[in-house]
Structure formats: structure tokens, C-alpha cells
Chain A
Amino acid sequence: MEAFDAFIVIFASGIRLAVPLIFACLAGLWSERSGIVDVGLEGKLLTGAFAAAAAATFTGSAWLGLCSGVTVTVLMSLIHGYASIDQRANQIVSGVAVNMVADGATALIGNAWWGQGGRTPQLPDSALFNSIQLPGAYTLHDTPIIGPIYERLISGHDLITYLAFLLAPATYWVLYKTRFGLRLRAVGENPAAVDTAGISVRGLRYGGVLICGVLVGFGGTYLSIAQAAYFQPHMSAGKGFIALAALVFAKWRPLPALATCLLFGFLDALSIRLQGTILPVIGSVPVQAIQALPYILTVILLAGFIGKAIPPKASGIPYVKER
């Protein structure tokens, strides 16, 4: 029973750690499916987290925090979009620039405002997205197996977490069942085909970039005012990059993206849990080995061992009407 409890704890923690990954990964999916590579997810997560925490600190409202987080990341996405779509800049360079600006600006502004080395003050519960008890969680408390699973794994998360899980099927639906989705998939593969069909390549790509900005804003908000109760510099800790790895691992498909992010989240939870424990045979587990697993898995995938991961053909390439 103890082992079961431990598993529940690890899984629940894995879900929480997966949430920012899911948002960032699906954000990247929307952008890259439209043909715009976004390596700036990391920076946008960080900026979103900062903007959300800052707004929550000033207003005391989690919802205004969310609005602020999303607004800022959308603006950053639009800057990346303008550089990539209208100015035909190198998308990697633009994305790296976003990351560098985010890293420096959040710490600088944070320190200027609160003087705590870039940290925001601890936020009260009223300014956070708190966990919600789903109906029936208490009555099922004593039921074996199902009780703990429902109470601690399914119930007890905050609103943003539930949204993250709804987002993957929603993305799937829009991408494969709607006109906008068809056009977006097409523009990431062959923008000339979209252009000759009389559809605006530019409009579609801005659409993809905009959705990317909204989603990654949710992910950033989650980091600072749902998972934690403050912002601190570098708190995104490479999650944006792991999300990119997950996107490759999922081969740019929404439902596998959800699964991959959960897997990576669990690995993360596992590595935290195993810190300092001595396992039989293996002995002390090197935590770094587990933390590196998402990257190692992605490299194995890219090397072609788990099928082929083919990115959208036109992603990263500015569209220029040929002469």
C-alpha cells in the first residue's frame, strides 16, 4: 500500500510538472504547423510567469495576473511573428533574441521593483489559482484504489491544469476538423499551394503565432501563480526547450504531444522523488541521469530509432513569392 501511495504522489506531481510543458508544447505546435519555428518558448514562459506574478502582486487578482501574462506573451509572439513573417528574418535568431531579452528583462525589472534579487514577494492564496476539489472527492475518500486515484490524482488540481488537459483534444479538433486547421496545416507544408488557392499566407501564419502566444502565456502564468506563489529569475528552468523536444518526440501531433509532456513530467517527478534514495542493485541514483532522459529520448528519436520525425516542410522558411 505504501508503494501505491508513493506512486500516486509521483503521478500527481508529474501532472503538475507537465502542465507548463503541455502549454508550451502545444503553443510550439501551433506556431510550427503554420511554418514559424519558435525557439523562444522558454523566454516567453519566463516572461509570462513574470508578468502574471507582477500583475497579481499589484492587483491581488489571479485573473488579472493571467490576463497580464497572456497579453505580454502575445506581444512577444507578435514581435517574433513580425520579424519572421513580414521581415523574413532568420527565425532561430529571432527566437534566441526573445530568450535573451526575457532572461535579462525579467530579472532586471523584478529587481528594480522589489529589490529581492528579481523575486516577487510571496503572493497570498487569494492571488493564486488554487486547487479545486471535484464533487465526490470526499465521499470516495475511503474507497480503496479508486478513492485515492480520484481524490489525489484527478481531483485537487487548479483550473489551469484542467484547461491544459482539454487543450490537446481541442487542438486536435481544430487542426483536423475545421477549415482554419486545414489551411494552417497546409501553410506549414507548402505556402505556395495556399497562396495559389487564394488564401493569405501571412494571415494564417499570424494566426498560428497568435495562438502560440496565448497558450504559452497560460503556461507561464501557471508557473508563477498556480504551481508557485511568486516569480523568481530563471524559474522556467529550460521547460520551453523540453517542450520543443516533446514537440519533436510527438512528431508535431497534438494528442501524442500531451502524452509526451506527461511522460516528461513524470520523469521529472521521479527524479525529484529519487533524490538521495538508495535503490537496491543500482545504489544511489544520479538525478542528472533522469533529468537528462527527455533530451536523450528525443535524440534517440531524431536519430531515427523510433520512426521518423519529419517537421512541417516549410517551417523556418520565410515565404517569398517566386519571381
Chain B
Amino acid sequence: MKVDAVPRPPAIELIGIDKRFGRVHANNNVNLKVERGLIHGIVGENGAGKSTLMSILYGFYEADSGEIRVNGEPVRIRSSREAISHGIGMVHQHFMLVQPLTVLENVMLGAEGGPLLAAGASEIRAKLAHLGREYGLEVDPDAVVGELSVGLQQRVEILKALVRGAEILVLDEPTAVLTPAEADQLFEMLKVLKSQDKTVIFITHKLREIMRLTDRVSVMRLGEMVADFETAKTSPPELADAMVGRKVILRVEKGQAHPGEIALEARDLVVKDDRGVTRVDGMSFVLRRGEIVGIAGVAGNGQSELLEALAGIRPLAGGEILVEGRVPPPELRTPKGMRKLGVFHVPEDRHRMGLVMPFQACESAMLGFHDDDVYGAGILFDRRAIAADTAEKMEHFDVRPRAPLLKTANFSGGNQQKIVLAREIERNPHVMLVGQPTRGVDIGAIEFIHKRIVALRDAGKAVLLVSVELDEIMALSDRILVVCGGRITGERLPETCNQQDLGLLMAGVSEREHAA
């Protein structure tokens, strides 16, 4: 007759988790409490440390320090096997499935139930049938996984965890690869799991999904856990604020812009990523000479793909790009061709696309322009001319040390970025596409880089700026386009908007809802 009133311990408790990869502090003293039987969301931008945290929970990495408690008991999780034995199941962003094997074989892998497959197979078959009925997770056990749709493959991943007796299910960006209909199905499935007292940890950077699905939500930024809300008591703007963070407002000295004629125009652009997922979904805008247009948005909402498409790196799946009012012929839709048309590009990730780290600075400073006669006509390079040219650029951009022969990797982040900027800007572009110009750059260099971008504008060039730093966007832009889910959700002038306003648009709240 006495009701059991003892509060249940949280399913998962992470206390003071710390993890470094070399110089990167991926998780900085992270605390997290996940109650049982709830759907708990973790949001944060790409690179905020969400996946690292979950990999620690799943035993993929070991934390440098900190404690993990499962159902109140302190545990050590040093391998996936130990995580599984504590009832933790993980659905990875990139599925951990063996494509040529059947569903049954994939589910059995690691839980075969004996040295011969036949014995365990019938047991797993029965379990699959049972789970299929109970949770609406039907899959043909004899189907070859590689032939299933992405949604069904994800279902197999979930089944793998449940067959192993998972009580706590971690899903890492599960909707990134799904169609909206498949995502809806997934949400229904997760709600059924919740009703069966399973705990779900749901990682995403999409606020819409958090609001729709979760009971609680924790926010990560730059490796730290910065906020924790009851979903019903928070709002997308509040979450967006917490995700993006407020920093000291940057001041950039700049005069009035004098926009001229249209330099670049995008009409109904559609761009897909390497996996065929549509990332830019019908964007249209114009970019004029003498203005800086900032693209604001939470990372991963199509900005990267937009930049790559404009620069000629990524093909268009739809729409068209006009340079100086004309559609470039297909043979010029390459990075080299677009440069010939005056469209230059500072890539978002200088390590991956902008520089070759083991190269000398002068070699990195001529990437993409190596056919230029300045560096020597014929088949041989004029090493002296290359070094002299780089020395001059280093002088103009205050690259320290001024050592054209030093290895690129030996420069600091800010100076590496200056090398990239110098390479592109010194070529006198008509249109400059700039991605994350100050990511991982120290304060002094930030100021310098901002000044150069403004100077470029004042020289009558068109600048498209993509940055996840809202302050940077607000300080530099003459116009701001906000993107969410591959669409432009609004356009603002920096003088007449505030961060809340932009935050709403970044969270995908459309203009009409916004007004209401």
C-alpha cells in the first residue's frame, strides 16, 4: 500500500569529464545528468564536443579525467563492450553496419550466442520479431543491409542496440541523413521507446527537433556544457543564444557602403553534399560591388556547401549562378575557371582546403596560381621569384615570421589564415567568397583580417562572408542573410536587428511565425 517514493537515480551522470586531443580541448569539465525514461537532447554547433562526449560514454575514447555513473553506480567504460554491458547502446552518425551482410548477421555481430551461428540465429530472429511488433521496428532479417534505405539501415542500428539489452540509447545526429518522412518515423519510434521506460539521448544541432521531441535539453559550446533546460520552459531563441554564445561585441571601423552593380547572383540554388543529402535548398540572392553580405546561421545549415558551389568546387543540383549578369559556361564552373572570372575563395577550413601543411609557406602561397607566369614560364618554377613574391605578400599582410621558406604548419593559426587571405586578395578579385575568416585566429589577427575585408569592400569589390560568429557577421556585414536548413529564412540590416532577432531566424522560425 506504500507507494514507492524513492527517487530513481539518473540513468546517466557525467561528472567533470575532460578530454583533450593535442591542443584541442574537446571536452572541458563537462557535467551532464540524464533522468531515466526521458528523451534528453544535447545541442551544440558542429565541433562543440557533443560527439566526443558520447564517444567517451560509449567507451570509444577514455576521458582524461571525470566520472561516469550509470543508474547511480560509478563505472569505468574503457571499451564498447563495457558500455554495452552497462546497457548503453549507440546509434552512430555514420552507421556501424557491414553493408554486404544481412540484417540478421549485422545484429548478431558481437552477440552471436556461441561459436556456431545456427544456435544464436534462431534466438535473434525471435528477438527481432518481438522487437518489431513491440516498437514498430519491422525489418526483414534476411535482407542485405546495403540494399536497404538509409531509414531502414538506421532501424537496424537501433535494433542492434535493443537486441543487446540497451536501456539507454544514444543517437548521434540521427536525422542528418534522413528524409523528413523518415525523421518523423524515427521520432514516433523514440516516443514508443520512451513509453517503455527506455532512456534516449538525442544529439543534434537542429533546434526544431529538440523542441518537438525532447523532455530536457543540454547545450554545449566550445567543449563546455553551458546550459540545461526543461524543454517546455525554453524557446528556440534562448537555445540559439546559448549555442552561439555572446561574446564581447567586436567593433570594426567602417564607413558607409556604396553598393554598385550586381557582381554575383544566385538563383534557386540547390546543392547536395557527398552523401546526396540536399544541403542548399533553393537559395536566391544578389551580391553587389562594394558591399559585404554576411551569411549567418548555425553551422551545418548549408553554408559550407553554398560556398563550395559558388567557388566552383561543388556541382549544382539545381538553379544557376550568374557572374556579372552572365551564366558562366560549364568549362569555367571549376575553381580555376571561377577564379578566371574573378570569383576568389577563402575556404572555411584552411587545413583541409586552404593550405598544404607540410609545404613551405611560399608553396602554399601559390596554390591554385602555379600556372602563373610570375612563378616561371615553361615547365620549371623560378624558386627565387616565388619566394620574393611570397615575401612581398607577407609584408603586406604582416605575416610573422616573414619566412617564405618555413613550413606552413609552423605558422600560428592566425598567420596561416593571413597567408590564405594574402594569396587570394593580392590577386585583385572581383568577388571574394570568405568562409570563417577568423576561426582559430588570435584577437590581434582578427582585427587585421577584418580591416582587410572592409578595405576590399571599399575598393569596390563584392564580399560574401560566411561565419558562425554572429558578432563577426554583425560587425562586418552591410546586409545579413540568415540561413537555416539550406534556406534563407530572412534578410536584415545590421543596424536594425539584434541577436535575438537573428537567433529566431537561425532557429528556422519563418518570417510569418516571427511576426505573430
A199 contacts which chain B residues (CB < 8 A)? 81, 109-110
A198 contacts which chain B residues (CB < 8 A)? 79-84, 110
Contact partner of B101 (CB less than 8 A), chosen from A177, A178, A189, is A189
Does B126 sit within 8 A of A, measured CB to CB?
no
Asked whether, in the complex, the Cβ of B80 is within 8 Å of the Cβ of A178, the reply is no
Stretch of B111-119, B329-337, B384-392, B403-411 contacting A (4+ beta carbons < 8 Å): B111-119
Name A198's closest neighbour in chain B (CB-CB): B81
Name A181's closest neighbour in chain B (CB-CB): B117
Contacts A178-B115, A321-B60; A197 near B109 (Cβ below 8 A):
yes
Name A199's closest neighbour in chain B (CB-CB): B110
Asked whether, in the complex, the Cβ of A185 is within 8 Å of the Cβ of B98, the reply is yes
Q: Mark B59-79, 1 if CB is under 8 A from A, else 0.
A: 010000000000000000001
Asked whether, in the complex, the Cβ of B115 is within 8 Å of the Cβ of A193, the reply is no
Asked whether, in the complex, the Cβ of A193 is within 8 Å of the Cβ of B118, the reply is no
Asked whether, in the complex, the Cβ of B112 is within 8 Å of the Cβ of A197, the reply is no
| B461 shortest CB reach to chain A, Å | 38
Name A192's closest neighbour in chain B (CB-CB): B96
| B122 shortest CB reach to chain A, Å | 14
Contact partner of A177 (CB less than 8 A), chosen from B97, B100, B118, B160, is B118
Does B108 sit within 8 A of A, measured CB to CB?
yes
| A215 shortest CB reach to chain B, Å | 21
The distance in angstroms between the C-alpha atoms of A323 and B23, with both chains bound, is 13
| A187 shortest CB reach to chain B, Å | 9
A195 contacts which chain B residues (CB < 8 A)? 80
Contact partner of A182 (CB less than 8 A), chosen from B58, B83, B105, is B105
B109 contacts which chain A residues (CB < 8 A)? 182-183, 186, 193-194, 197, 199
B106 contacts which chain A residues (CB < 8 A)? 193
Asked whether, in the complex, the Cβ of A194 is within 8 Å of the Cβ of B21, the reply is no
A189 contacts which chain B residues (CB < 8 A)? 98-101
Asked whether, in the complex, the Cβ of A179 is within 8 Å of the Cβ of B114, the reply is yes
Asked whether, in the complex, the Cβ of A197 is within 8 Å of the Cβ of B96, the reply is yes
A185 contacts which chain B residues (CB < 8 A)? 98, 100-101
Does B92 sit within 8 A of A, measured CB to CB?
yes
A-facing residues in B19-73 (Cβ within 8 Å): 21, 58, 60
B110 contacts which chain A residues (CB < 8 A)? 183, 194, 197-199
Does A7 sit within 8 A of B, measured CB to CB?
no
A183 contacts which chain B residues (CB < 8 A)? 109-110
Asked whether, in the complex, the Cβ of B80 is within 8 Å of the Cβ of A196, the reply is yes
Asked whether, in the complex, the Cβ of B60 is within 8 Å of the Cβ of A313, the reply is no
The distance in angstroms between the C-alpha atoms of A192 and B118, with both chains bound, is 25
Name B94's closest neighbour in chain A (CB-CB): A192
The distance in angstroms between the C-alpha atoms of A65 and B79, with both chains bound, is 43
Name A187's closest neighbour in chain B (CB-CB): B98
A190 contacts which chain B residues (CB < 8 A)? 96-99
Name A313's closest neighbour in chain B (CB-CB): B99
| A154 shortest CB reach to chain B, Å | 31
Q: How large is the interface on A (under 10, 10 to 19, 20 to 34, 35 or more residues)?
A: 20 to 34
B99 contacts which chain A residues (CB < 8 A)? 189-190, 313
Contact partner of B80 (CB less than 8 A), chosen from A197, A313, A323, is A197
B-facing residues in A161-215 (Cβ within 8 Å): 176-183, 185-186, 189-190, 192-199
Q: Mark A35-60, 1 if CB is under 8 A from B, else 0.
A: 00000000000000000000000000
Asked whether, in the complex, the Cβ of A179 is within 8 Å of the Cβ of B112, the reply is yes
Does B456 sit within 8 A of A, measured CB to CB?
no
A323 contacts which chain B residues (CB < 8 A)? 21
| A319 shortest CB reach to chain B, Å | 13
Contacts A193-B98, A194-B109, A197-B109; A177 near B116 (Cβ below 8 A):
yes
The distance in angstroms between the C-alpha atoms of A180 and B80, with both chains bound, is 19
| A47 shortest CB reach to chain B, Å | 33
Asked whether, in the complex, the Cβ of B96 is within 8 Å of the Cβ of A196, the reply is yes
The distance in angstroms between the C-alpha atoms of A194 and B346, with both chains bound, is 39
Asked whether, in the complex, the Cβ of B116 is within 8 Å of the Cβ of A178, the reply is yes
B114 contacts which chain A residues (CB < 8 A)? 179
Does B432 sit within 8 A of A, measured CB to CB?
no
The distance in angstroms between the C-alpha atoms of A185 and B105, with both chains bound, is 10
Name A177's closest neighbour in chain B (CB-CB): B117
Asked whether, in the complex, the Cβ of A196 is within 8 Å of the Cβ of B105, the reply is no
Contact partner of A179 (CB less than 8 A), chosen from B21, B90, B116, is B116
Name A323's closest neighbour in chain B (CB-CB): B21
The distance in angstroms between the C-alpha atoms of A193 and B97, with both chains bound, is 6
The distance in angstroms between the C-alpha atoms of A189 and B94, with both chains bound, is 14
The distance in angstroms between the C-alpha atoms of A183 and B98, with both chains bound, is 10
Q: Mark B300-312, 1 if CB is under 8 A from A, else 0.
A: 0000000000000
B-facing residues in A85-126 (Cβ within 8 Å): none
B160 contacts which chain A residues (CB < 8 A)? 197
Name A180's closest neighbour in chain B (CB-CB): B115
B98 contacts which chain A residues (CB < 8 A)? 185-186, 189-190, 193
The distance in angstroms between the C-alpha atoms of A180 and B276, with both chains bound, is 35
Most chain B beta-carbon neighbours within 10 Å: one of A176, A186, A189, A196: A196
The distance in angstroms between the C-alpha atoms of A206 and B317, with both chains bound, is 45
A-facing residues in B386-424 (Cβ within 8 Å): none
Contact partner of A178 (CB less than 8 A), chosen from B21, B79, B96, B117, is B117
| B82 shortest CB reach to chain A, Å | 8
A193 contacts which chain B residues (CB < 8 A)? 96-98, 106, 109
B-facing residues in A300-323 (Cβ within 8 Å): 313, 321, 323
The distance in angstroms between the C-alpha atoms of A178 and B98, with both chains bound, is 17
B81 contacts which chain A residues (CB < 8 A)? 198-199
Name A310's closest neighbour in chain B (CB-CB): B100
Interface of A with B (CB < 8 Å)? 176-183, 185-186, 189-190, 192-199, 313, 321, 323
Nearest first, the 5 closest Cβ-Cβ pairs linking A and B are A198-B81, A197-B110, A193-B96, A179-B112, A198-B80
26 A–B contact pairs at CB < 8 A?
Answer: A177-B117, A177-B118, A178-B115, A179-B115, A179-B117, A181-B117, A182-B108, A182-B117, A185-B100, A186-B98, A189-B98, A189-B100, A189-B101, A190-B99, A193-B96, A194-B109, A196-B92, A197-B80, A197-B109, A197-B160, A198-B84, A198-B110, A199-B81, A313-B99, A313-B100, A323-B21
Interface of B with A (CB < 8 Å)? 21, 58, 60, 79-84, 90, 92, 94, 96-101, 105-106, 108-112, 114-118, 120, 160
